[in-house]
Structure 1
Amino acid sequence: MSVDNSRRALAVVFVIVFVDLLGFGILIPVIPLYALSFGATEFVGSLLIASYSAMQFLAAPFLGRLSDTRGRRPVLLLSLTGSVIAWTLFGLAGSLAVLFAARMLAGVMGGNIATAQAYIADVTPPEDRARGLGLLGAAFGLGFIFGPALGGFFASEFVVSAAQSVFPAWLPATEFSLPSFAAAAITGTNLVAAYVLLPESRPPEERVASRERDRESRLTELADALRTHGLGTLVVAFFLVSFAFSALESQFIFLTNDQYGYGATENAILLTYFGVIIAIVQGGLIGPLTDRYGEYRVAIAGAAIQVFTLAAVPFAPYFGSYIPSVEPLLPVGPTLPSAVIALGVIVTPLAFGNAITNVSLNTLVSRSATADEQGGAFGLTQSAGSLARTFGPALAGFLYTAIDYWAPFVLGGALMIPIVVLLARLDVSLVAGTSESPRTETPE
């Protein structure tokens, strides 16, 4: 693939992932309340949220491997088609069972992230892969910044009233169905654009070779990859990062509500700020950082930063007692409490550390696999992340209620310590094509 075609393909994949995550993000503020509208308890609503990650865990390796043998383009088109069906069904759901079915189908189709990662690995040389995967991370961040805002817009009273005046009687127009239909429409537009603009990144002869090897020794090949390329260590690290960070994702709003009395609007501002930092780092800063220090060192630094910042989040009011409050710039503006200032000081490096860790680990995974193993390798890490996001929030919620508000965050920080240890003991010479000097000792 020529340089121009490679850049165009990279841009198309960026847009596909961004719009896909935009559709997903639209439903973030809707899903819990949607479940409650059918009489579900908060626990059942949490299961509905977790069902997406659970099905993504099961589907990601299959879709990743399928993209190795059948091509990236067909798998991406298939997953977008399934997502349109899932979000439409979500809006039409007349029962909790249908809601679960739609959510689980969306989770299966959400396993396409591994395929998108493998596509980027196909069209970028190893030295530019961190930039390419960072661009994918930026698409994640932007999708989660703008998605919930759109969800709130489509669930607003004005939009619901307007839709009720034009929708036929059989088509529901509610604060829950309209965001779902919007997600389906956005994903459908994405599907058409991908069909027209997205080229295949794997030549037919490579797909044939992958099919032959897949029939002969899929399990043996995977076992060899885990042993030979250090992929096992990277997958464990990816699992721990996702598990630890799920404490923040699942409990942050509870914490700010309890400590600061913050509701949806204030939390939306905080989460948007967090997402903007991640998007900036993954979209622009990660390339220069890895060029200068290498993916291996950047991954260790990112995990080390999170050891302290994750654990510090619940103690922001304590740290804030040493910081003066900021008076409003305008006579009618609100005073910025010192605790909130401290929280911002903590969250900024936390977002930075998480962003560089995720991209660096994904890049190391890509380097650890051959061209024919990219989809399978990314499917494996995607499954690890989905599994962590399935069980992590449940444990974090238990710790928050059974022990105290600080417990899930301290645990999250503590889980970053073995990540630093694992990566520090990793023989980087086992990671094919790494730009860093290998360690002289092989870990025991």
Structure 2
Amino acid sequence: MSLTNPKVRRAALAFIFVTAVLDIVAMGIIIPVLPQLIEGFVGSNARAGVINGVFVALWAGMQFICSPIIGSLSDRFGRRPVILISCAGLALDYVLMALAPNLWWLAAGRIIAGITSSSFTTIYAYMADITEPAKRARAYGLIGAAFSGGFVLGPVLGGFLGDFDPRLPFWVAGGLSGVAFFYGLFILPESLPVEKRMAFSWRRANPVGSLILLKRHAELSGLAVVNFLLYFAHHVFSAVFVLYAAWRYGWGPKEVGLLLALVGVLDMLVQGVAVGPLVKRFGDRGVMVFGLLGGTVGIALMGWAPTGLIFILAMLPNALWGLAMPTLQSLMTRRVGEDEQGQLQGANMSVASIAGVMSPLFFGWIYSISVGEGALATRLWLASALDAAPAQMLALVTRVMTQPGLAFYLAAVTLFLAALVGWVVGRKADRDDAAVARLDPVQNP
């Protein structure tokens, strides 16, 4: 099958869209129940925050190691086999977690999931293969919308299934990943022609060596910093959100699932509808920075929200965060050749994975010292450590360290820093793109 055929091209786009939805539905199904399953094993909400952070870090650590390898393998052997193997691996992994009798089994499942879900780099590379550079922001927005659509269905389904049995969502997730595998086996064409493939090299494929690509241009390195900060902030949700919602607002799996569905709907609207027109009017840089600032406001409001209703309303400005990722991806993909798109996505995922290792451990620890019995222990420790400090200073430090929404406040600060870096670095990227467009107006309409 040739992607020059319009029908085949549409089928390929449909597959990528459907696969992204199925994969994210499968991942989203377990979100409302996994932290509570961990809490059931350890018997403490605060301690579950730490353990859940460790599990997310394990997942991200495997992505850090495997994403550049998988990206480079897709540059060498094509995108199709990598995507299919990943779908099959995810299906088997969810079955393993469904059967997990203890935390060690769950940890093994998180490690395998980190390896197999590294194929998201290949999905982005596939889209780069079949999309003109000037249209990639919209294409990545559609992929983001597919992910958001998966998060609409997944957490709702997981929340309702979890009310019957906390392990049932894992079985359903495995079935959905299996469907994605068989769907791709019969539908997906290859997007990378043999003549455009690159020989596999461990120098490029190892997680450190893959980052060399990001040093090629100063603005590419700067955009990688934005990528790191964005993912670092985002993991506050995977590390503590479910436990925080249960502790502060009394929400169970069903309520958390419905709220995550709302997040998905808003994100789908932002990425699937708003990205294209806004980029056409304001450019990638302006839209990216605006999205990061919107996320800053929204996530800060979530940390402050004294009631569940205010927390839900904070989702509105937070949804603007969805403008940042597709525009950031678009800016970065225009800075490498067509034969390096897989390597770039692998390097991007390595950066995201470094954030994914550090961030959940950090936010899990912050959560554990700022709520419940953890906050009480923090107060006692501060009183002992700062016994010679002025009373007002002790009261201020104690108040800050035991804010229930402290993790969200720190995530908001991280996003604001990402917006500042993105604005500065993006100016250079905009000037470079304008210069290229003047030199080659046919390739850059």
- Give the match for residue 34 of structure 2: 31
Q: C-alpha displacement at 1:310, in angstroms?
A: 2.2
CA distance in 2, matches of 1:301, 1:257: 31
Q: C-alpha displacement at 1:104, in angstroms?
A: 0.8
- Give the match for residue 324 of structure 1: none
- Give the match for residue 419 of structure 2: 420
CA distance in 1, matches of 2:430, 2:190: 27
After superposition, the Cα gap between the structure-2 partners of 1:206 and 1:313, relative to the gap in structure 1 and judged at 3 Å, is: same
Q: 1:180 is aligned with what amino acid?
A: F
Residue from 99, 118, 136 that aligns with 2:106: 99
- Give the match for residue 228 of structure 1: 217
Q: C-alpha displacement at 1:344, in angstroms?
A: 4.0
Q: Which deviates more from structure 2 when the two are superposed, residues 187-196 or residues 304-313?
A: 304-313
Q: Which deviates more from structure 2 when the two are superposed, residues 79-88 or residues 387-396?
A: 387-396
Deviations 1:85-133 (A, max 9, x none): 2112222334433332222111100101111001001111112211111
CA distance in 1, matches of 2:353, 2:51: 19
After superposition, the Cα gap between the structure-2 partners of 1:17 and 1:221, relative to the gap in structure 1 and judged at 3 Å, is: closer
Q: 1:349 is aligned with what amino acid?
A: P
Deviations 1:198-234 (A, max 9, x none): 0000001111xx117x479778896365232622111
- Give the match for residue 163 of structure 1: none
CA distance in 2, matches of 1:220, 1:256: 40
CA distance in 1, matches of 2:258, 2:162: 18
| Gapped regions of structure 2 (runs ≥ 5) | 371-400, 438-445
How many residue pairs get aligned? The number is 396
CA distance in 2, matches of 1:122, 1:356: 22
Q: Which deviates more from structure 2 when the two are superposed, residues 380-389 or residues 13-22?
A: 380-389
| Gapped regions of structure 1 (runs ≥ 5) | 158-174, 318-338, 439-444
Structure 2 residue 166 is the aligned partner of structure 1 residue 199: no
CA distance in 2, matches of 1:224, 1:271: 35
Does the 8 Å contact 2:32/2:256 carry over to 1? no
- Give the match for residue 239 of structure 1: 228
Does the 8 Å contact 1:9/1:123 carry over to 2? no
Q: Which deviates more from structure 2 when the two are superposed, residues 218-227 or residues 307-316?
A: 218-227
After superposition, the Cα gap between the structure-2 partners of 1:136 and 1:180, relative to the gap in structure 1 and judged at 3 Å, is: same
The alignment partner of 2:334 has SS state of helix
After superposition, the Cα gap between the structure-2 partners of 1:434 and 1:31, relative to the gap in structure 1 and judged at 3 Å, is: same
- Give the match for residue 142 of structure 1: 149
Does the 8 Å contact 1:6/1:124 carry over to 2? no
The alignment partner of 1:426 has SS state of helix
- Give the match for residue 275 of structure 1: 264
CA distance in 1, matches of 2:331, 2:425: 11
Does the 8 Å contact 1:32/1:49 carry over to 2? no
Does the 8 Å contact 2:71/2:342 carry over to 1? yes
- Give the match for residue 179 of structure 1: 169
The alignment partner of 1:230 has SS state of helix
- Give the match for residue 121 of structure 1: 128
- Give the match for residue 52 of structure 1: 59
Q: TM-score normalised to the size of structure 1?
A: 0.81
CA distance in 1, matches of 2:174, 2:246: 32
Deviations 1:332-382 (A, max 9, x none): xxxxxxx55544443201112x10011111111221221111111111222
Does the 8 Å contact 2:294/2:319 carry over to 1? no
Q: Which deviates more from structure 2 when the two are superposed, residues 381-390 or residues 249-258?
A: 249-258
Does the 8 Å contact 2:32/2:242 carry over to 1? no
Q: 2:147 is aligned with what amino acid?
A: F
Does the 8 Å contact 2:159/2:254 carry over to 1? no
Q: C-alpha displacement at 1:32, in angstroms?
A: 2.6
- Give the match for residue 71 of structure 2: 64
Q: 1:211 is aligned with what amino acid?
A: A
Does the 8 Å contact 2:303/2:407 carry over to 1? no
Structure 2 residue 319 is the aligned partner of structure 1 residue 347: no
CA distance in 2, matches of 1:286, 1:363: 11
Q: C-alpha displacement at 1:275, in angstroms?
A: 1.6
Q: 1:298 is aligned with what amino acid?
A: V
After superposition, the Cα gap between the structure-2 partners of 1:50 and 1:200, relative to the gap in structure 1 and judged at 3 Å, is: same
Q: Which deviates more from structure 2 when the two are superposed, residues 242-251 or residues 279-288?
A: 242-251
The alignment partner of 1:29 has SS state of coil
Q: Which deviates more from structure 2 when the two are superposed, residues 38-47 or residues 396-405?
A: 38-47
Deviations 1:276-311 (A, max 9, x none): 100111112111111111111111111222333322
